[in-house]
Every structure is written in C-alpha cells, then in structure tokens.
Amino acid sequence: MPEVQAAGVIHDLGYRGYDGPRLGRTQIVRALTWHSFRSAFGIGRGVKGKIVPVLAFIAMCLPALVNAFAVAQGNARLFGYDVYTPALRVALVTIFIAAQAPELVSRDLRSRVLPLYFCRPLRRGDYPLAKYVALTGALLILIEVPLLILYAGTIASAKGGGDVWNETRALIPGLGVGLMWAVLFAAVGLVLASLTGRRAYSTGIVAISCVLTFFLALLLIQAEGGTSATSTGARIGGLLSPFTILDGVRVWLGGTSPGLVANPGRYGPLYGVLAVVLLAACLGGLAARYRRVSQS
Amino acid sequence: MPSIQAPPGAAAVIETTALTKVYPGDITALDGLTVSVAPGVTGLVGANGAGKSTLIKILLGLIPPTKGQAKVLGRDCETSGETIRILLGYMPEHDCLPPDVTATEFVTHLGRISGLPPTVAKERAAESLRHVGLHEERYRLIGTYSTGMKQRVKLAQALVGAPQLLLLDEPTNGLDPAGRTAMLELIGRIGAEFGISIVVASHLLGEIERICDHLVAIDGGRLLRADSITSFTQASQVLAVEVEEGLAQLQAELAARGLAATPQAATSQAGSAAASTVQGRTLLVPLGGDDTYDVVRDCVAALALPLCRLEQRRHQVEELFRDEEEVPHA
C-alpha cells in the first residue's frame, strides 16, 4: 500500500484533523440538555412533533388570558397562584409528559443511539441527568409561564403599589408549587418512558399511570366525603397519586386555595415524605436504567 | 506491505496485558488476552463470541476488566476512560441511527457531544459526510437511506470528533458485495490518508485482510495470533479450481509452473454432501496475485481440460484457526 500513500499527496481529499479547543464534560452535558430541551417542544423536529407540546402550552395559557380580561373588567383574580386551574393542569401535564418524555428517551432507545453517546466523553449518569434537566425545564415553561401571565394580567389592572406587592407575595409560593410539579413529573415521566423503546407503549404507560392513579385518589377522596371532609380516608386518599401528593404537600405547607385533596391535617408530613420518596425512587430508577443500558 | 502509519518507534495504539473479563454467571469473555496493536490499520478477527465486543467495550472504558490492564493511546482504560473516548471514534455493529432526522443534524449533534464547539461541529459534520461520500443526500432524513448510506453515516459520526483511533465493529455488515468493496476502500483510504489508526473487527478474514496492515485473531477470549498481514495472507488466500477430469495432470502442470496446488481435502468447506462429490475434482492453489489466474488459465488451456469452476475462496476465520492447528504438524 505504499503507493497509495504516495498518491494521497496528489489526491488530497482535504481531510483535516482538529487541534482546537474541546468542550469539557460539563459543557457537553449542557449541549445535550439544550438539545433535549428544544426537542421537548418539538424544535428541530417536523411539524408533527410540535403539535402536542405547543397546543398543551397554549391551552395552559388560556385561563390566564381569560383572567386578564376579567380583571380588566373589574373582577377579582379568577385563580389562585398555588393551584391555577387544578383539573386542567393535571390533564395538560399528563398529556405533555406522556407525549414528550418518550420523545426524549424512548426515541434514543428505539433507534439504539445510546452506544453513540456512551462512546463519547460522557459518564453514565450524564445522559439521564441531561434528559431530566431538559424535561424539568420544559415543564417549568409549561407550568410557570401561565402563572406569570396570570400575574401580569392581574397587576396590569392593579390599583397602587400595595396591590402589586400582595400579588407578588401570592405569586411566589405559586411558582414554588410549579417547581415541585416540574421536578417530580419530569422524573415520573422519564422513568416510565425509559422502560421501553416502543414509543406508543411508553406514551401509554405514562398516560395510564398518571390517569389511573389520579382517578383512584379522586374516587377514594369522594367516597370518604370529598375535599372538604375531615375523615382519615379523605385525608390520606391523596397519597395514591403523584398529583394529589403534591397538592397535599401544598396544603400542608400552607396553600389556601381549594385544590385536589382534602386538608391532610396531621398527615401532612406523610405527604411531604412520600413526595420525596417518590422523587428519589424515580431518579434512582432512571439512573439504574441507564447504568444497565450503557453496558449492553 | 509494511505498516505505513507507524513512525519509527511509535508506541502501540492499543496494549492489553493479561486482560480478563468474566461476566456474572461465570461467563468468561476474555481470558488473559495480551496483545499490542501498532499504529495503522489492524484487523481484529474472531468468530461470534470470541470476545471482540467485550474487548471493544473495555477499550472504550464502558466496562471494567475483571483482571489485567488495557491501554489505549498510552492511557489506562479504567482510569482515563473519558480522555480515551475523546480520542476514539467508534462505529457500532448494529443499527444506531434515528430515522427522523437528517444526517447533517445527527452528525452535527454527535460532534457537539464529542466536545466540538457549535460551528466546528457543523463544519466537521459536513466534511465527515463528504469524506464518506454523502453529498446532497445528507440533507435527507436518515430513514430514507439505503443500508450502504446508513453505514456511511455511522462511519461519519465516528470521524466527526477528529479521533486518533477508529474502532469499527463489522463495518461491512448487511452490505452487498459492491457496497462491501466500497466500504473497505473507504476504510483503507481513511487509514492511509487521514493519518488515523483503525481497528476493524470482523469475522470475515478474507474481507478485512484486503485493507489491513496487521491482524489480531482471537478465539475464546484468548489471543490466537497477532502478526503482520503477509503471514496471514499466505494461509488464507486460495483459488479453488474445479475440473471434471484430469486433476492429477493439472496438479503436475501447475507444479511445473511453480504453483503448489493441493487437492481439496474432504474436511474443508463444511463437509456437506455436495462437497464430497466434488472432492477429487478440486485443486486449491495458493493465490499470489493476478498472475496466479493467468497461470491456471494457461495450464487448463494447455491440457485442454473441462474447467467447471474457478473461484477465490473467501475464508472465514474458522478456517484460519484450523490452519493454525495444522501448522505445527505440517
């Protein structure tokens, strides 16, 4: 083959190596996170990939827009910042994670792209971490932006600084609740979606798990006397579903708007513990899932 | 055929010492493998289950060895996995491409994950795809590609990070003969002109020997043989000549013209019923070059023998192993 080498000088294909700066692992993880965050909204995908996330986002914003008009007409603010519109939020968060968590993880499992990630300077935990941060960020946009619109629409008609201050004080815990939702549901969605590479199945798994547990919790609470009941059954019924767990935590931490669950009363700490345990279990499951994948 | 990439005294690109990997359940994938791979194009041959994939995973730093040590480009695989993975390009054996993105987008994204800044990733993605022969097609969705084009994208993503060493796992998998030849030529060119060392894992010895400077043969997790390509080629390249009659005359005639032909043994070529009927009609001639074909043709013509078949035998690696066992007795 020596003659080939000699010919290489003549038929120069122009291959160039690269000696320039390379990004560190942190920046690589950031790049993967940004890529995943964009694809959570279908950016960089076809029109089909954008339909669900964009419609979910618009639907989530509608009540806040309605509120802006209502407040301008002289009405009081329509929704509490800490609950927003509970049923709509449950439905849209379910739809969003059922559609977009598989977009982030099942797709890569399905097309077996993962070895191409793990043969690059990433560590095992980096991939699920990037996906988790990306989906959490996407859920924050979905949940918090409507709250900010609600806030903006309300203070636009505020009379005096005192009103603005009161609205701001009410908004902050609402943003905190939104953060809890984003952090927990990103984990729940990803761990369920990463079970299988079959996109339809993982969407089904996420959707069914969310809907089923939610209705179980609602049924139990209804059977025990509804959200204003004080029976033990009604107080702990909310423990059955992640949505109602978080709502229980909200009430326990001092949320006042009527929400999804009965006041947990002395079972409040139980809701808090269960929320943390659920989050830890989902993140642990996600990490374990990718430790196995990266070796196969 | 000397190793063209090896500067004098160049260090080995891959070095393993008593490398052992035992999976849970006492499955031994590698069993005290000690091998050193010089710069250049090296073939890693072994039957399915010989330990090729396990070796590659250890080299990538994805799984730790049970015992022993592996070094890539002078760095320890267990402790410097991340650094090694910056310097390595890996092309997996199986399908690994998402169908719903364009090749440009996909390779650019993986360039970013290889640590390239955004603009560099874009440039290098376009260049890598051009080098593997994908031009306008690169703006199409990967799902619309043929198998050959997909293999090229897989090679391009291995190149995009500007690696010093490429690990290619069965790069000709699923390709038709023309596609195989094109892929092998491409790999040969990358090795010869791009200044990148390459390790090609394959179970088809006859195929990768065309582009390799060195061969490493493993079997049952052990090193069978590591040598320059020439010592393998002699044992592996043969021309099968089948005539309806006059086998002995042909053998004598070939010998007279300097070719040591041997009648095909009954055990070779899988011992099927068909093989045993043609036994006694087939001569195996060591294939030296294109001259061999001429000599055979001339002999057959001179003797006016009815020639049925003239084929270059594509040796599978199993035959190499049998040859190995026979060598000490020969």
Owning domain of residue A80 = 23-295
> What distance, in Å, lies between the first and last C-alpha atoms of chain B?
26
pLDDT tens per residue, range B178-220: 999 999 999 999 998 888 999 999 888 778 878 888 989 998 8
pLDDT at residue number A196: 93
pLDDT at residue number A9: 46
Inspect the interface and report whether the beta carbons of B110 and A116 lie closer than 8 Å.
yes
Question: How many structural domains does chain A have?
Answer: 1
Specify the DSSP class assigned to residue B86.
H
pLDDT tens per residue, range A7-32: 444 445 578 888 889 999 999 999 99
Average pLDDT over every residue of B231-254: 78
Chain A hits for B1, Cβ within 8 Å: 1
- Do residues B106 and B98 lie in contact, with contact meaning Cβ atoms separated by under 8 Å? yes
Give the nearest chain A residue to B129 (CA atoms).
A15
Q: Given A20, A46, A295, which is nearest B63 (Cβ)?
A: A295
Inspect the interface and report whether the beta carbons of A31 and B113 lie closer than 8 Å.
yes
Chain A hits for B61, Cβ within 8 Å: none
Inspect the interface and report whether the beta carbons of A119 and B162 lie closer than 8 Å.
no
CA distances in angstroms from B57 to A289, B23, B53, B232, listed in the order given? 18, 13, 6, 26
Inspect the interface and report whether the beta carbons of B113 and A28 lie closer than 8 Å.
yes
Q: Given B96, B127, B161, which is nearest A115 (Cβ)?
A: B96
User: Per the domain annotation, does A3 fall within a domain?
Assistant: no
Count Cβ atoms within 10 A of the Cβ of residue A59 and give its class: 0-12 exposed, 13-18 middle, 19 or more buried. middle
Specify the DSSP class assigned to residue B253.
H
Inspect the interface and report whether the beta carbons of B131 and A28 lie closer than 8 Å.
no
Inspect the interface and report whether the beta carbons of B192 and A24 lie closer than 8 Å.
no
- Do residues B171 and B204 lie in contact, with contact meaning Cβ atoms separated by under 8 Å? no
pLDDT tens per residue, range A44-102: 887 888 999 999 999 999 999 999 999 999 889 999 999 999 999 999 999 999 999 99
Inspect the interface and report whether the beta carbons of A15 and B92 lie closer than 8 Å.
no
User: Per the domain annotation, does A145 fall within a domain?
Assistant: yes
pLDDT at residue number B247: 85
pLDDT at residue number B295: 87
User: Which has more confidence, B308 or A168?
Assistant: A168
Inspect the interface and report whether the beta carbons of A121 and B82 lie closer than 8 Å.
yes
Measure B192 CA to nearest chain A CA, in Å: 6
User: Per the domain annotation, does A9 fall within a domain?
Assistant: no
pLDDT tens per residue, range A171-205: 999 999 999 999 999 999 999 999 999 999 999 99
Inspect the interface and report whether the beta carbons of B82 and A13 lie closer than 8 Å.
no
Specify the DSSP class assigned to residue B245.
S
pLDDT higher than 70, residue A111: yes
Inspect the interface and report whether the beta carbons of B161 and A15 lie closer than 8 Å.
no
Chain B hits for A20, Cβ within 8 Å: 117, 120
Chain B hits for A5, Cβ within 8 Å: 4, 192-193
pLDDT tens per residue, range B272-281: 444 444 557 8
- Do residues A126 and A33 lie in contact, with contact meaning Cβ atoms separated by under 8 Å? no
pLDDT tens per residue, range A116-160: 999 999 988 999 999 999 999 999 999 999 999 999 999 998 888
User: Which has more confidence, A131 or A293?
Assistant: A131
User: Per the domain annotation, does A155 fall within a domain?
Assistant: yes
Chain B hits for A113, Cβ within 8 Å: 96-98
Domains annotated for chain B, with CATH where assigned, are 14-233 (3.40.50.300), 238-314 (3.30.70)
Angle at B88 between CA A13 and CA B98, to 5 degrees: 85
Among B4, B72, B113, B144, pick the best mutation site for testing chain A contact (most A Cβ within 10 A): B113
User: Per the domain annotation, does A14 fall within a domain?
Assistant: no
User: Per the domain annotation, does A44 fall within a domain?
Assistant: yes
Query: Tokens at residue A166, please?
Result: 């009161």
Q: Given B2, B110, B117, which is nearest A23 (Cβ)?
A: B117
- A6 pLDDT tier (thresholds 50, 70, 90): very low
Inspect the interface and report whether the beta carbons of B188 and A1 lie closer than 8 Å.
yes
pLDDT tens per residue, range A205-232: 999 999 999 999 999 999 988 888 888 8
Count Cβ atoms within 10 A of the Cβ of residue B254 and give its class: 0-12 exposed, 13-18 middle, 19 or more buried. buried
User: Per the domain annotation, does A16 fall within a domain?
Assistant: no
- B322 pLDDT tier (thresholds 50, 70, 90): low
pLDDT tens per residue, range B98-154: 998 999 999 999 999 999 999 999 999 999 999 999 989 999 999 999 999 999 999
Q: What is the 3-state secondary structure (H, E, C) of chain A?
A: CHHHHHHHHHCCCCCCCCCCCCCCHHHHHHHHHHHHHHHHCCCCCCHHHHHHHHHHHHHHHHHHHHHHHHHHCCCCCCCCCCCCCHHHHHHHHHHHHHHHHHHHCHHHHHCCCHHHHHCCCCCCCHHHHHHHHHHHHHHHHHHHHHHHHHHHHHHCCCCCHHHHHHHHHHHHHHHHHHHHHHHHHHHHHHHHHCCCCCHHHHHHHHHHHHHHHHHHHHHHHHHCCCCCCCCHHHHHHHHHCHHHHHHHHHHHCCCCCCCCCCCCHHHHHHHHHHHHHHHHHHHHHHHHHHHHHHHC
- In the beta sheet, which residues pair with residue A238? none
pLDDT at residue number B3: 34
Inspect the interface and report whether the beta carbons of A18 and B124 lie closer than 8 Å.
yes
Chain A hits for B100, Cβ within 8 Å: 45-46, 107
Chain A hits for B115, Cβ within 8 Å: 22-24, 27-28, 120-121
User: Lowest-pLDDT range, A247-251, B83-87, B155-159, B322-326?
Assistant: B322-326
Q: Given B92, B109, B195, which is nearest A115 (Cβ)?
A: B92
Chain A hits for B131, Cβ within 8 Å: 13, 15
pLDDT tens per residue, range B69-114: 999 999 999 888 889 999 999 999 999 999 989 999 999 999 999 9
pLDDT at residue number B320: 58
pLDDT at residue number B224: 85
Length reported for chain B: 330
Give the nearest chain B residue to A121 (CA atoms).
B82
User: Per the domain annotation, does A158 fall within a domain?
Assistant: yes
Give the nearest chain B residue to A46 (CA atoms).
B100
Q: Given B86, B94, B194, which is nearest A112 (Cβ)?
A: B94
Q: Given A1, A108, A122, which is nearest B4 (Cβ)?
A: A1
Inspect the interface and report whether the beta carbons of A4 and B110 lie closer than 8 Å.
no
Chain B hits for A295, Cβ within 8 Å: 57, 62-63
- In the beta sheet, which residues pair with residue B241? B283, B310
Average pLDDT, chain B: 84
Measure B285 CA to nearest chain A CA, in Å: 24
Inspect the interface and report whether the beta carbons of A27 and B157 lie closer than 8 Å.
no
Angle at B241 between CA B236 and CA B244, to 5 degrees: 150
- Measure the CA–CA gap between B182 and B170, rounded to whole angstroms: 14
- In the beta sheet, which residues pair with residue B286? B238
Measure A113 CA to nearest chain B CA, in Å: 5
Inspect the interface and report whether the beta carbons of A115 and B90 lie closer than 8 Å.
yes
Give the nearest chain A residue to B57 (CA atoms).
A295
Chain A hits for B92, Cβ within 8 Å: 112, 115-116, 119
